[in-house]
């Protein structure tokens, strides 16, 4: 169990969805930032650090898939949970197959709030633990902690 709150970025153009998911994750002790489209989301990913990003695929200005690709190109490796909702499940599957950072997807109209929060937490937990174990395994034995 970590002793600091996870940081989540929610990127969705629908205000009620953004607000409700932010409240939900706050209830699960996340610190939450939000963005209204892919451009704003990318900007926040580039300038701040997050344990997980929850990203809608269909958004104005820049869609979720393009945002994730651009973040990947800038070597931002924040893990992503995708949101779908307008018949864009094929795009979600494409993202899961092509982008290493995409770990999960949820369909908004049938979203189960508890399952969603639990999975987002697992994905967030996976980021630092994976990274830490990778780094530790490369360190010489004398300075391992």
Partner 1 sequence: MAYLRDTQKALNRTEIEKLSYLGSMATGIAHNINNPINGISLKALRGLRRVKKGDINNQEAQEIFAGIMHEVKHLTSLIKQFQAFARGDRNKRENVDLNDLATRVAAYFDGQFQSHDVVLNLELSDNNPQAYANQFLVEEVLINLVTNAREEVEKKPNAAVWVKTWATLEHSVIQVEDNGPGVSEEQRLFSPFHSTKAHGMGLGLHLAKSALERINGTIFYQNRAKGGACFTVHLLPARGENDE
Positions touching partner 1 (CB under 8 A) are 14-17, 20-21, 23-24, 27, 58-60, 63, 85-88, 108-109, 111, 113-114
> Bridge-partner residues for 40, per DSSP?
none
CB of 77 to partner 1, least distance (A): 26
Of the two residues 19 and 131, which places its CB atom closer to partner 1 in the complex? 19
| CA distance to 65, 69, 91, 113, per residue, from 57 (Å) | 6, 12, 8, 19
Six-digit token pair at 18? 């953004």
Kindly state the smallest distance separating residue 54's Cβ from partner 1, in Å: 13
> Please, which residue, 16 or 141, has the CB nearer to partner 1?
16
Smallest distance, partner 1 to C-beta of residue 104, A: 18
Of 75 and 114, nearer to partner 1 (C-beta) is 114
For Cα atoms 22, 45, 7, give the angle at the middle one, nearest 5 degrees: 40
Closest distance between partner 1 and the C-beta of residue 27, in Å? 7
- Helix 64-73 vs helix 38-47: crossing angle, to nearest 10: 30
Neighbours of 16 (CB within 10 A): 8
Contact between 104 and 81 under an 8 Å Cβ cutoff? The reply is yes
Q: Which is nearer to partner 1, 60 or 128 (CB)?
A: 60
Q: Which helix (DSSP H) or strand (DSSP E) does residue 52 occupy?
A: strand 52-56
Q: Kindly state the smallest distance separating residue 109's Cβ from partner 1, in Å.
A: 6
């Amino acid at each position: 169990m970590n002793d600091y709150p996870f940081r989540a970025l929610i990127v969705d153009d629908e205000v009620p969805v953004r607000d409700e998911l932010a409240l939900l994750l706050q209830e699960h002790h996340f610190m939450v930032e939000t963005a209204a489209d892919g451009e704003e989301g990318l900007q926040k990913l580039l300038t701040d650090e997050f344990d997980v990003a929850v990203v809608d695929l269909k958004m104005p200005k820049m869609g979720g898939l393009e945002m994730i690709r651009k973040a990947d190109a800038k070597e931002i490796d924040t893990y992503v949970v995708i949101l779908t909702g307008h018949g864009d499940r094929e795009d979600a599957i494409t993202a899961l197959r092509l982008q290493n950072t995409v770990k999960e997807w949820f369909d908004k109209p049938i979203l189960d709030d508890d399952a969603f929060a639990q999975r987002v937490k697992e994905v967030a937990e996976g980021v630092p633990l994976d990274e830490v174990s990778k780094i530790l395994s490369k360190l010489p034995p004398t300075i391992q902690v």
